[in-house]
């Protein structure tokens, strides 16, 4: 797993007035916290941030942030976006220390869709989750998890117990075998089934 790098400058003042001033100056306010150290307020260049976001896996890659010459090993935890323009307003970074596991949302990739008879017959892949939260070692965060759809028919589903997770990772939800995806019947097929049901009911 590659580590991203990001250059940042320290911010002195906290609060919305200062944060807005940072945005007016053309930068994005952010914060680095965690690892039992004092949080530091920083600001980053929007273009650099946008590049990282568009690389994909923004929340599942370690980031090396250089703040005034000092490096911080962090992971992005949250990003606030403008509701209309989708431009970043603020970013949260959490320090990552060695020897600790962290909970990270890992994206899911659905493969072999054409090998699923349900999808061939017109069924729709209904992704209940597009990502799954795993407890992982920060140095070995998986890029993505592949979900194999081979052999799935309409109304079949994939649960977390059916998925082969990378070594050293475990789902944070342990109390139930949660669903990841189902193959739903197409709307046309549902309508036909409902019609048949009505006809049968009418005959009785």
Partner 1 sequence: MLSPKRTKFRKAHKGRIHGKAKGGYTLNFGSFGLKATSPERVTARQIESARRAITRHMKRAGRVWIRIFPDVPVSQKPAEVRQGKGKGAPEYWACRVKPGRIMFEIDGVSREVAKRAFELADAKLPVSTKFVTRFGEED
Interface residues with partner 1 (CB under 8 A) are: 53-54, 56-58, 79, 81-84, 86, 122, 124-127, 130, 184, 186-188
- Closest to partner 1 by CB, 117 vs 186, is 186
Cα–chain-centroid distance for residue 65?
A: 21
Closest CB to partner 1 among residues 19, 108: 108
Give the bridge partners for 111, in sequence order: 148
The CA-atom distances, in angstroms, between 183 and each of 26, 186, 189 are 46, 9, 13
User: Both tokens of residue 178?
Assistant: 């949660």
Which H helix or E strand runs over 21?
helix 16-24
Q: Smallest distance from the beta carbon of 99 to partner 1, in angstroms?
A: 29
Least separation in angstroms between CB 140 and partner 1: 21
Residue 47 burial (C-beta neighbours within 10 Å; 0-12, 13-18, 19+): exposed
The minimum distance between CB 68 and partner 1, in angstroms, equals 28
Least Å distance between CB 53 and partner 1?
A: 6
- Identify which of residues 41 and 44 has a Cβ nearer to partner 1 in the complex: 44
Torsion angle (degrees, nearest 10) of CA 4, 10, 13, 14? 20
Query: With respect to partner 1, which residue has the nearer C-beta, 171 or 186?
Result: 186
């Amino acid at each position: 797993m590659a580590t991203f790098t990001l250059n940042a400058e320290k911010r002195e003042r906290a609060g919305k007035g200062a944060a807005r001033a940072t945005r007016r100056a053309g930068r994005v306010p952010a914060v680095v916290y965690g690892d039992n150290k004092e949080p530091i307020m920083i600001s980053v260049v929007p273009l650099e941030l946008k590049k990282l976001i568009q690389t994909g896996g923004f929340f599942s890659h370690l980031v090396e942030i250089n703040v005034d010459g000092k490096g911080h090993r962090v992971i992005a935890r949250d990003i606030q976006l403008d509701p209309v323009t989708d431009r970043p307003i603020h970013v949260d970074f959490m320090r990552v220390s060695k020897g600790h596991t962290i909970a990270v949302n890992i994206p899911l990739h659905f493969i072999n869709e054409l090998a699923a008879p349900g999808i061939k017959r017109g069924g729709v892949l209904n992704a209940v989750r597009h990502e799954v939260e795993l407890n992982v070692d920060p140095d070995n965060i998986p890029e993505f998890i592949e979900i194999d759809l081979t052999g799935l028919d309409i109304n079949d589903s994939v649960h977390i117990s059916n998925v082969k997770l990378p070594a050293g990772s475990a789902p944070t939800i342990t109390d139930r075998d949660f669903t990841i995806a189902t193959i739903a019947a197409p709307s046309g097929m549902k309508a036909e089934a409902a019609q048949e049901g009505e006809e049968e009911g009418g005959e009785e």
